[in-house]
């Protein structure tokens, strides 16, 4: 009886100790793992390729850099641009006399491979255009058609607006340089005029 009484006395203490150890051990392990995850290992190698510091933006470009960027963008741009039912050779614009710009144009449903059989001329100062098919004469100048005005030529207004808004200004002809100023030339030395001789001519013989 005395043995059973001692057994009953220490059994609750043993159960409480085991229970506390079971609960505290996982919490201690979790805390230790979080600390290790938050603190990198001392012997962990640094990144071989650190991120490069980007170049500061907002720096002004030189005129040569701007020209090269425009050339790069022009090379990336597609050659043919569509406006309405027509496609225009956007890389083939040529500046003619009096500020007129010309290029090839192809209109119709099948514009996957446009043929350069038709040309368009645009005058940005007046915002008018002219057309020519093959070797025929140019048509009269007129304002471009919108999509609501023509199904075949609609979109010309957007084409003219896009071209003239981004066209480079036409360089004005420089006035002719004035002639070089020469230093005042010295007057040429004049020869003294012959003075008549003071001697009388010989008398004529009779």
Residues 105-134: b if buried by 16+ CB within 10 A, e if exposed: bbbeeeeeebeeebbbbbbbeeebbbbbee
pLDDT tens digits along 150-202: 999 999 999 999 999 988 877 776 676 667 666 565 656 555 555 444 444 44
The total number of structural domains that make up the chain: 1
Question: Is pLDDT larger for residue 89 or for residue 20?
Answer: 89
Q: What is the percentage of the chain residues whose pLDDT exceeds 70?
A: 52
Question: Is pLDDT larger for residue 103 or for residue 25?
Answer: 103
pLDDT category at 14 given cuts 50, 70, 90 is: low
In terms of residue numbers, what domain contains 120?
A: 79-166
pLDDT tens digits along 119-151: 999 999 999 999 999 889 999 999 999 999 999
Token pair listed for 60: 């002004």
- At residue 47, the pLDDT reads 46
Q: Is residue 118 assigned to a domain?
A: yes
Q: Is residue 85 assigned to a domain?
A: yes
Q: Is residue 62 assigned to a domain?
A: no
Q: Is residue 86 assigned to a domain?
A: yes
Q: What is the mean pLDDT of residues 68-72?
A: 86
Q: Is residue 63 assigned to a domain?
A: no
* Distance of alpha carbon 9 from alpha carbon 56, whole angstroms: 78
- At residue 168, the pLDDT reads 82
Closest CA to 114 of 144, 90, 89: 89
Q: Is residue 110 assigned to a domain?
A: yes
Contact between 89 and 116 under an 8 Å Cβ cutoff? The reply is yes
* Distance of alpha carbon 178 from alpha carbon 175, whole angstroms: 9
- At residue 73, the pLDDT reads 81
Closest CA to 130 of 147, 149, 105: 105
- At residue 205, the pLDDT reads 46
- At residue 147, the pLDDT reads 93
Half-sphere exposure of 5 (CA within 13 A, CB side): 2
List of E strands, the chain: 80-83, 86-89, 94-95, 100-107, 118-123, 128-133
Q: Is residue 60 assigned to a domain?
A: no
- At residue 145, the pLDDT reads 97
| Dihedral in degrees, nearest 10, Cα atoms 63, 68, 70, 76 | -170
H or E segment and range at residue 16: helix 2-38
Q: Which of 17-26, 33-42, 67-76, 112-121 has the highest mean pLDDT?
A: 67-76
Q: What is the mean pLDDT of residues 112-121?
A: 74
Q: Is residue 98 assigned to a domain?
A: yes
pLDDT category at 113 given cuts 50, 70, 90 is: low
């Amino acid at each position: 009886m005395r043995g059973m009484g001692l057994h009953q006395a220490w059994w609750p203490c043993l159960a409480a100790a085991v229970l506390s150890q079971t609960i505290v051990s996982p919490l201690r392990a979790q805390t230790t793992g979080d600390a290790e995850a938050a603190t990198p290992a001392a012997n962990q190698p640094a990144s071989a390729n650190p991120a490069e510091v980007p170049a500061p933006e907002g720096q002004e470009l030189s005129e040569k850099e701007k020209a090269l960027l425009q050339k790069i963008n022009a090379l990336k741009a597609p050659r043919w641009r569509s406006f309405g039912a027509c496609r225009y050779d956007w890389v083939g614009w040529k500046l003619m006399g009096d500020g007129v710009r010309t290029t090839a144009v192809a209109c119709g449903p099948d514009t996957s491979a446009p043929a350069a059989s038709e040309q368009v001329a645009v005058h940005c100062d007046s915002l008018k255009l002219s057309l020519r098919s093959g070797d025929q004469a140019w048509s009269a100048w007129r304002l471009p058609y919108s999509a609501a005005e023509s199904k075949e030529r609609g979109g010309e207004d957007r084409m003219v607006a896009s071209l003239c808004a981004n066209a480079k200004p036409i360089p004005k002809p420089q006035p002719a340089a004035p002639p070089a100023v020469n230093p005042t030339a010295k007057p040429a030395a004049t020869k003294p005029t012959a003075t008549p001789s003071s001697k009388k001519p010989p008398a004529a013989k009779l």
